Amino acid sequence: MRLTRLRSAHAEEQYRIRGNLRHAHDDAASFTERLGNLRHDLTKREDTSGDNFRIELDRQTITNRGVAGELLIRRAEKLKNQLCEDMLVGRFAGFDLAIRVNFNGDADLVLRGKNSYMARVTDTALGTIRSLEATVLGFEERSAKLEADIVDTQKRGKELERKVGAPFEHESRYQE
């Protein structure tokens, strides 16, 4: 009976390993695609630091961070509690800018390039703009994290591949 339980546990472990291996391959492919998209977005990113700040909201170009943040907050307030698709509101740093209302009724900012990037709508105008700018400035950090995730996922996949198909160590005794 003990050998039967051990053999059953081995079979379950093999099933789990195969599932994890499949997920590792899927994750590696997903991370690689997102990294490629991010690198493309890096080439399209426009400089908005210092006096270069420029945002287009409702077909108006705004160069004042405080005014832009206030307009975004007001627009987000209007959309709160209205669960709808992303509402395109303008462009920032070379990307489409939309507002998304989540299931909690809170609004988030979404920058759309080849990937989508989230920023927060905060309580203050300048805080909202800082969140938006930090999202754009964080592309290099995201790229480095994705590269590390790809390496880790590939390493995990290789470890799992070695374990797939491992025989039950007590098979001969079980058969007896």
Strands 87-92, 55-57: parallel, antiparallel or unpaired by DSSP?
Answer: antiparallel
State pLDDT tens for residues 92-128: 999 999 999 887 778 899 999 999 999 999 999 999 9
State pLDDT tens for residues 125-160: 999 999 999 999 999 999 999 999 999 999 999 999
Q: Pick the residue with more confidence: 78 or 112?
A: 112
Residue 79 has pLDDT above 90, yes or no: no
Q: What's this model's pTM, rounded to 2 decimal places?
A: 0.80
Q: Which amino acid is at 164?
A: V
Measure the CA–CA gap between 169 and 2, rounded to whole angstroms. Answer: 13
